[in-house]
A and B are shown apart, each in its own frame.
Chain A
């Protein structure tokens, strides 16, 4: 028989040591130690370990004692080690020594100097497990002996004071940070059970006797108006809101452990304002990168809850956003000097005909010095008598559906907390009693309703006069009229009191009602 060639051209069948060596495929091998078959048609040597990562080589003497089988985790962030907002790749490394800690190696994605970060998370003796999402690394202990931790970059512009809050806010926290993964309650975060206060701010805001110089505190100020539906004894609680709108445990407002603060209301409207102590003697905000005032850099809000005294369940009241803060943002408050700021101040000595007035700095009467007078209506801006019916002085009647101007004089003696002459706080007037009632007025003849009165003269002393165009109501005896001053949130801060006038028949037609359909057709 002639000689023959038998060729083995491929080896990519790899090891087959389970079948009889005669019965395996030509491309299989009985043994394949030290080789790799990832290149079809070739038998190449197997790989091995490469040069160590720069900065993590033997020569770098990186201290990190190994827990066998554990310790490495790769993740990427939007921020680099130097805190610039550029992507970075990281390797978390567990060091069993040094009381157990996680170290962080970064690849220096935009450069060529990978290194270990100075950031360290103390974790104790653990068997580390990790997960990463939304910019934060979580570190767990597979042996369940140590609490879970987190690590990440915090870029938090807290307490905006305007819509440009990224640059005009009161506290910036921009740093690598770590801590317990657990969402702690405010009671724990603030350091004691009595760091949350319910404060009756009807007469004045919290003072130095409430606001501590350095303690972490939350003060829920409240005051009331009449004509609301809060009735009963109420308790309040608060939860911290962490990044991702994640809610922590609730803590009741309490004066001491398990002694909950209770507030009684009776037919009240209740108004709330939130104070968070700054902990610093600074009027322009909190030092950048100072610790979060609620004890955890991840906190971005507070949820407030309430319940009637006998109830178990808490019902959501409101959320306070620690960043943007809602329509009116955040402001600084000096508890030593500003407790009465922003409270509409009437002249306590003001009398009418020798009787102390209850007009609260809102005067709608013709002669505020005389008791026997009538409501200050006129045909236009203080002149004209076409609106007048029979009678005079205190018995003056009006004619139904007459177009009139109501003179309103505002007199707020408090010049503090209502803005400046160049930028006063602006409110609204709510007029009751007209053909359209209530009537909300934000501007009169182009002039806004300034809560800081007397800007044209001496603020706090000079009175502001507005002529509110309106229609008198239909005929009737003792028709009631009242004007309220509302703040930016439409909360009543001053009230003229109720005055009456008889309205006689004028045979004028009532003004047309607002017609939604007609409006839509026109539009």
Chain B
């Protein structure tokens, strides 16, 4: 029976000859070999991959857990890691690497409490800066955007733009989201963040396990640098991480049935009037004093809005002098308004106050979903006008 081989060079008994042993050639560096590597996180910068929090098997077959170490691949060799390409910027600090992220030529090494910014401009990486209280608890608390790297932790939400770290709860030096709001929302080890490329927004999802409230979200508009939030806007079932797919849409999977997955994108604008209704709608204006602490009478509020359906299921109320939103508006006949009629086109509704809005110092408006139904999906407010009269100072 014939047994076959393929031979090289490809002619019979033709070889590659050596007159002498080529001892000037390179040697095989056996002691630098990493036989296998398991990594917790990775980031690609240029033509190198950096992996962090690794378990390696070295040339002697010894397994070693290096939770503070980064290994970089050789250039263009994305599976080749050697012992001489290890990067340690902080070891034995009681923390481990949770996530690596790359932006331009910087590596952001997130540990539980601390962020290390590593400069990878040159062949030899070096620690550029260390930031306490900027670490993350889980790998999904970090996302890449075209503005930089965004992340969240128990203290807030941050953006690294290649030059500095911005606390995006702050605007012009003033914090806009209160500690209590964030502490109520944030869940350690679960809260994750994603980037909505279409509208340049950050979507922060409260949790990934099947627990009530884990479908709550916060939304940061990077253009206007401002926040909104929503309750139960996505499912509270078990969820995957958030990823941007081929068309930039932000998607995640959730357990739609036992051991089954459904993958859905985030939709910027609700479109289905019936399906995209908003539960937990609540908008409150600032406490308006109209530029003076003098007493005044607010007689009427005019809202320009639109929204289809018989009613848009919005209940307007008002508060006075910093109190609760316990006061109902009335129509021109003095009947309390409990809903707003639907209108496909821009419409105005006039909301009359009662005697409670007389002799007041401040006034605020609240729009909530009516008790019977959720707010229709396409409800929009264009502007709010308050008609008032300032009283003479006595």
Query: Is A136 touching B78 in the complex (CB atoms < 8 A)?
Result: yes
A32 touching B283 in the complex, CB below 8 Å, given contacts A56-B261, A71-B241: yes
* A386, chain B: closest CB distance, angstroms: 39
Give B308-324 interface residues, CB cut-off 8 Å to A: 322
Write out the residue numbers on chain B whose beta carbons fall within 8 Å of the beta carbon of A133.
Answer: 44, 49, 78
Q: In the complex, identify which listed stretch (B83-91, B114-122, B157-165, B376-384) lies at the interface while the others stay far away.
A: B376-384
Q: How far is the CA of A458 from the CA of B289 in the complex (A)?
A: 116
Q: Is A171 an interface residue (CB 8 A)?
A: yes
List chain B residues, Cβ under 8 A from A51: 264
Distance in angstroms between the alpha carbons of A358 and B292 in the assembled complex: 121
Query: Is A33 interfacial (CB 8 A cutoff)?
Result: yes
CB-CB under 8 A for A219 and B389, given A43-B381, A64-B259: no
Q: How far is the CB of A413 from chain B (nearest CB, A)?
A: 15
* Alpha-carbon separation in the docked complex, A76 to B245 (Å): 10
For residue A107, which residues in chain B have a CB less than 8 angstroms away from its CB?
245-246
Q: Scoring B residues 100 to 117 as 1 if CB is less than 8 Å from chain A, else 0, what string do you get?
A: 000000000000000000
Interface residues as binary, A33-74 with B (CB distance below 8 Å gives 1, 0 otherwise):
111111011111111111111001110111111111111111
Interface residues of B in 277-291 (CB under 8 A from A): 278-290
- Report whether B278 and A26 are in contact in the complex, using a CB–CB cutoff of 8 Å: no
Q: Are B178 and A330 neighbours in the complex by a CB distance under 8 Å?
A: no
A99 within 8 A of B: no
Q: A1-B389, A71-B240 are in contact. Are A21 and B6 (CB under 8 A)?
A: no
A313–B282 touching, CB < 8 Å: no
Most buried by A among B10, B49, B259, B378: B10
A277 to B9, CA, bound (A): 14
A499 contacts the other chain (CB 8 A): no
Q: Is A271 an interface residue (CB 8 A)?
A: yes
Asked if A523 is at the interface (CB within 8 A of a chain B CB), the reply is no
Q: Given A14-B176, A273-B7, decide whether A283 and B30 contact each other with a Cβ distance below 8 A.
A: no
How many B residues, CB 8 Å from partner? 147
What chain A residues lie within 8 Å of B228 (beta carbons)?
Answer: 14-15, 32-33, 35-37, 46
**Chain A 276-289 per-residue mask, 1 if CB under 8 angstroms from chain B, else 0:** 11101111011000
The residue of chain B having its C-beta at the shortest distance from the C-beta of A281 within the complex is B2
Contact of A316 among B10, B25, B387 (CB under 8 A): B25
Is B276 interfacial (CB-CB < 8 Å)? yes
What separation, in Å, do the CA atoms of A69 and B288 have in the docked complex?
Answer: 43
Asked if B229 contacts A15 (CB within 8 A), the reply is yes
Q: Does residue A394 face the partner (Cβ distance < 8 Å to B)?
A: no
Report the nearest A residue to B181, measured CB to CB.
A17
In the complex, the answer to whether B270 meets A316 with C-beta atoms within 8 Å is: no
- Determine whether A256 belongs to the interface, using a CB cutoff of 8 Å to chain B: no
Q: Are A274's CB and B7's CB within 8 A? A: yes
CB-CB < 8 A to A3: which residues of B? 299, 387-389
Q: Is B77 an interface residue (CB 8 A)?
A: yes
Instruction: Check: A331 CB closer than 8 A to any chain B CB.
Output: yes
A9 close to chain B: CB less than 8 A: yes
Contact of B132 with A by CB under 8 A: no
Quick one: which of B12, B21, B224, B252 has the most chain A CB within 10 A? B12
Return chain B residues, CB-CB under 8 Å to A221: 15
Given that A69-B240, A278-B6 are known contacts, is A316 also in contact with B268, CB under 8 Å in the complex?
no
| Complex interface: chain B residues within 8 A of A326 (CB) | 8-9, 16
B260 sits at the interface (CB 8 A): yes
Chain A residues near B14 (CB-CB < 8 A): 273, 328, 342, 487-489, 491
A267-321 residues with Cβ-Cβ distance < 8 A to B are: 269-278, 280-283, 285-286, 293, 305-306, 313-318, 320-321
Evaluate whether A211 and B5 lie within 8 angstroms (CB atoms) in the complex, with A53-B263, A61-B257 already known.
yes
- The reply to whether B375 and A34 form a contact with Cβ atoms under 8 Å apart is yes
- Chain B positions within 8 Å of A321 at CB level: 8
Interface presence of B358 (CB below 8 A):
no
Chain A contributes a number of interface residues (CB within 8 A of B) equal to 179
In the complex, A129 Cα to B201 Cα: how many Å? 24
Cβ 8 A contact of B267, one of A35, A49, A247: A49
- A331 and B224: CB pair below 8 A? no
- A46→B318 CA distance, assembly (Å): 23
Q: How far is the CB of B211 from chain A (nearest CB, A)?
A: 10
For B62-101 the 0/1 string (1 means CB < 8 A from A) is: 0001000000001011111000000000000000000000
Q: Residue-by-residue, is B209-229 near A (CB-CB < 8 Å gives 1, otherwise 0)?
A: 110000001010101101111
Given A18-B178, A32-B227, A45-B270, A53 and B264 contact (CB-CB distance below 8 Å): yes
Contacts of A176 in B (CB 8 A): none
Q: CA separation between A213 and B3, bound complex, in Å? A: 5
Determine whether the beta carbon of A66 is less than 8 Å from that of B18. Answer: no
Whole-angstrom distance between the Cβ of B205 and the nearest chain A Cβ:
10
B39 within 8 A of A: yes
Complex alpha-carbon distance, A67 and B268, angstroms: 26
Verify A141–B11 contact, CB threshold 8 A: no
Across the interface, A246 reaches (CB within 8 A) one of B41, B79, B175, B322, namely B79
Interface set, chain A 403-450, CB cutoff 8 A to B? 416-418, 425
Q: State in angstroms the CA–CA spacing of A9 and B190 once bound together.
A: 37
Instruction: Report the separation of the CA atoms of residues A356 and B282 in the bound assembly, to the nearest whole angstrom.
Output: 111
Please indicate the chain B residues that have their CB under 8 angstroms from the CB of A278 in the complex: 4-6
Nearest-neighbour CB distance to chain A for B387, whole angstroms, equals 6
Chain A 237-250, CB within 8 Å of chain B: the 1/0 string? 10100101111011
Q: Does B251 contact A (CB under 8 A)?
A: yes
With beta carbons under 8 angstroms apart, the residue of B22, B78, B262 that contacts A57 is: B262
| Contact A9 to B383, CB < 8 A, known contacts A29-B285, A50-B265, A316-B26 | yes
**Inter-chain contact A315/B23, CB cutoff 8 Å:** yes
Q: B359 on the interface (CB 8 Å rule)?
A: no
Do A314 and B256 touch (CB < 8 A)?
Answer: no
Min distance, Cβ B195 to any Cβ of chain A, angstroms: 13
Check A142 against B139 for contact (C-beta < 8 Å): yes
Among A143-151, A347-355, A462-470, the stretch that binds chain B is A143-151
A473 at interface, CB cutoff 8 A: no
Residue of A nearest to B374 (CB): A34
Contact with A along B351-386 (1 / 0, CB 8 A): 000000000001010100100000101111111111
Contact in complex: B11, A425 (CB < 8 Å): yes
Question: Is A16's CB within 8 Å of the partner chain B?
Answer: yes
Most chain B beta-carbon contacts within 10 A, residue among A52, A138, A329:
A52
CB-defined contacts of B28 to chain A, threshold 8 Å: 237, 239, 250, 305, 313-316
138-167 of chain A: CB within 8 A of chain B: 138, 140-142, 144, 146-148, 150, 159, 161
Any A CB within 8 A of the CB of B234 = yes
> A335 within 8 Å of B by Cβ?
yes
- B316: min CB distance to chain A, Å: 13
Determine whether the beta carbon of B77 is less than 8 Å from that of A246.
Answer: yes
- Name the one of B7, B53, B79, B276 contacting A48, with C-beta atoms under 8 angstroms: B276
A336 touches B1 (CB 8 A): yes
Partner of A33, one of B13, B175, B283: B283
Are A49's CB and B39's CB within 8 A? no
Beta-carbon nearest neighbor of A70 in chain B: B241
Among B25, B227, B267, B362, contact of A15 (Cβ-Cβ < 8 Å): B227
Q: Pull 25 A–B residue pairs with CB atoms less than 8 Å apart, ordered by A.
A: A7-B386, A8-B385, A18-B174, A32-B282, A34-B230, A34-B280, A34-B283, A37-B226, A47-B233, A49-B266, A56-B263, A58-B260, A58-B262, A68-B210, A138-B78, A144-B55, A206-B5, A208-B3, A228-B19, A229-B19, A273-B13, A274-B7, A332-B7, A488-B11, A490-B17
The 9 closest A-B pairs by CB, nearest first: A342-B12, A14-B226, A417-B12, A342-B13, A331-B10, A271-B15, A328-B9, A229-B20, A50-B267
Given contacts A2-B389, A34-B280, 12 further A-B contacts (CB under 8 A): A3-B388, A6-B288, A7-B385, A31-B283, A33-B229, A35-B228, A49-B264, A133-B49, A234-B21, A249-B33, A316-B22, A489-B17
